[in-house]
Amino acid sequence: MKPFDYLRPEKVEDAVTALASTPQAQVLAGGTNLVDLMKYDVTHPDLVIDINRLPLKAIEETADGSLRIGALVSNSALAYDAVVQERYPLLSSAILAGASPQLRNAASTGGNLLQRTRCYYFYDPSTRCNKRDPGSGCSAIGGVNRIHAILGASEHCIATHPSDMCVALAALDATVEVQGAQGKREIPFADFHRLPGDQPEKDNTLEKGELATAVRLPANHFAKHHSYLKIRDRLSYAFALVSAAVALDIQDGTITELRVALGGVAHKPWRDPLAEAEFAGAPANEESFRAFAARLLTGSIGQGGNDFKIGLAAKTIVRALTQASVRQPQVQSHKAIF
């Protein structure tokens, strides 16, 4: 590991100033991804900015009925927060589907947004990887690509975003609050993560020197009909092959609102609001759910090793929508799927 300087600021402004003024600065919160990346020689910061003393650990209800979650709130604290469990059970469920209790205790909300892909080649500096080393090529295309993208990929990168939490945040129309040297701004969640295009090294739309300070959740009416269903190779602890965060509003057997975000299939949580709008007014039954799955997966393409994900994603969407419609959300404690 390369030597680096270490800073532990007390104020957000000081963290942002250091982040903006040091070319190779990296932010440390829970460290559950950054420390691995440094040990594997994937990233080499000149400066590590430890933000754990910043005042970003609160979960607050706001005047407009939103919930504001500080970037340093741990995954465990968020999943078990009483307001989150009551009003945003989809988010709580998605968090509990991820990682292990030890990791969830350490990992932060902001860090979850910013975690890097789990593409095997990205973590192996002896291989070609456009995300780690722009212009070097993509070893996953034509290589081992069981865990890779079926939607929104490019000829430069077919990686997926690994988060569970972010899939629920996408379905819930969250907003990310950021602060930089130029001041504060807000980024709709759908615009926070990006597709790889010809710049796969850029995971998100943060500008240089900007720090994610909070996530805001608008009020919603999805506490009744929701489910987070995660399909993985190993039930005890693994990243998603495919996951679906589903929220429904159903009146007299008819869908009045539908939200579906997919994890494990693209470089960002995958949602299509136009497709969702087409199904408002449809009966809440298996036929509608199958038709929606086909619509959402339009344009999906396998890379050989991950061809199975297309069919798996369709089944996952239908199953999660069925669970949500009958108010039997996926249980994350024993993980058996009904």
Question: Is 152 a residue that touches ligand SF4 (CB under 6 A)?
Answer: no
Q: Distance of CA 39 to CAs 29, 32, 35, 43, 154, Å?
A: 16, 12, 6, 8, 28
Q: Which stretch binds ligand SF4 (CB under 6 A): 11-19, 101-109, 126-134, 172-180?
A: 126-134
CA distance 221 to 208: 36
Which residue type, as a one-letter code, is found at position 135? Answer: G
Question: Is 138 a residue that touches ligand SF4 (CB under 6 A)?
Answer: yes
Going by C-alpha positions, the residue among 266, 54, 32 that lies closest to residue 149 is 266
Of 49, 72, 150, 158, the one binding ligand SF4 by CB under 6 A: 158
Of 88, 122, 189, 270, the one binding ligand SF4 by CB under 6 A: 122
CA distance 139 to 172: 34
CA distance 33 to 39: 10
For ligand SF4, the closer of residues 117 and 213 by Cβ is 117
- The count of chain residues that interact with ligand SF4, using the rule CB under 6 A, is 14
Q: Give me the helices (H) in the chain, please.
A: 12-21, 34-39, 75-79, 82-87, 89-96, 101-106, 109-114, 165-171, 189-192, 273-278, 286-296, 308-325
CA distance 170 to 45: 30
Question: Is 168 a residue that touches ligand SF4 (CB under 6 A)?
Answer: no
Site for ligand SF4 in 299-338 (CB under 6 A): none
Shortest Å distance, C-beta 138 to ligand SF4: 3
For ligand SF4, the closer of residues 162 and 329 by Cβ is 162
Question: Is 129 a residue that touches ligand SF4 (CB under 6 A)?
Answer: yes
Q: Which stretch binds ligand SF4 (CB under 6 A): 7-15, 114-122, 243-251, 258-266?
A: 114-122
Beta sheet of 242-251, edge-to-edge order: 225-231, 242-251, 254-263
Shortest Å distance, C-beta 269 to ligand SF4: 17
Shortest Å distance, C-beta 7 to ligand SF4: 29
Gyration radius (Cα) of the chain, Å: 19
Shortest Å distance, C-beta 156 to ligand SF4: 6
Question: Is 121 a residue that touches ligand SF4 (CB under 6 A)?
Answer: yes
Beta bridge partners of 283: 254
For ligand SF4, the closer of residues 241 and 258 by Cβ is 241
The contact pattern for ligand SF4, residues 186-225, with x = CB under 6 A and - = no contact, is --------------x-------------------------
CA distance 162 to 273: 22
Place of tokens 């369709």: 314
Of 32, 74, 75, 130, the one binding ligand SF4 by CB under 6 A: 130
Q: Which residues of the chain form contacts with ligand SF4 (CB under 6 A)?
A: 117, 119, 121-122, 129-131, 138-140, 157-159, 200
